[in-house]
Amino acid sequence: MHHWINLSLLILFPLSWFAPLMRAGLLPLFNLKEISVMTGLQSLWGTDVFLAIVVTVFALLAPYLKTITLALIHWRLLSPRAGPVLAILGKLAMADIFLIALYITIAKGIGIGRLETAWGLYLFTACILISIWVSWRTEQSPSPP
């Protein structure tokens, strides 16, 4: 069962990248602008290339590569000895959730403007947590589907 859940992440991760993570606005009276992983990356590429590369690795590449690697192991196209690579990818993939939470906390703490979390943040977080669960299940029973 966890094999199929992992394959669903190949669709859910890209969906979560385009889903709104939060809504932000300068003043409470004005409309809030939706921010997604992709709109955030677009903005970063124009202002801070190094940070854009870091976020791209943590938010896009690491979780997706982990999902693909798990799928290859599940379908016996890659040896289960790739476990250490999965552990590293898993740690990198979880770092982005920490960064997003940190940004939201800082923005709310400053008190300038308005910031609301959106459904995409929960979808993105769920994808990461499901990926962790699938990794754990794979370690417990590395049998094929």
pLDDT winner (highest mean) among 17-26, 32-41, 120-129: 120-129
Average pLDDT, the chain: 81
Taking 3-state DSSP, the helix, strand and coil percentages for the chain, each rounded to the nearest 5, stand at: 75, 10, 15
Distances (CA, A) of 34 to 38, 56, 114: 11, 19, 12
E strands present in the chain: 20-25, 33-36, 114-117
Lowest mean pLDDT among 97-101, 119-123, 128-132: 97-101
Residue 6 is predicted with a pLDDT of 93
Q: How many residues does the chain have?
A: 145
* Whether the Cβ atoms of residue 131 and residue 63 lie closer than 8 Å to each other: yes
Q: Is residue 103 pLDDT above 70, yes or no?
A: no
Q: Which residues are registered as beta bridge partners of 117?
A: 22
Mind listing the pLDDT tens digit for each residue in 131-143? 888 988 888 875 5
Residue 32, helix vs strand vs coil: coil
Give per-residue pLDDT as tens, 108-120: 666 666 778 889 9
Confidence bin at 34 (pLDDT 50/70/90): confident
**Is the full-model pTM beyond 0.75?**
yes
Q: Give the whole-angstrom CA distance, residue 45 versus residue 119.
A: 24
- CA 68 to chain centroid: 14
Check whether 28 has a pLDDT greater than 60.
Answer: no
Contacts of 142 (CB under 8 A, 6+ apart): 73, 80
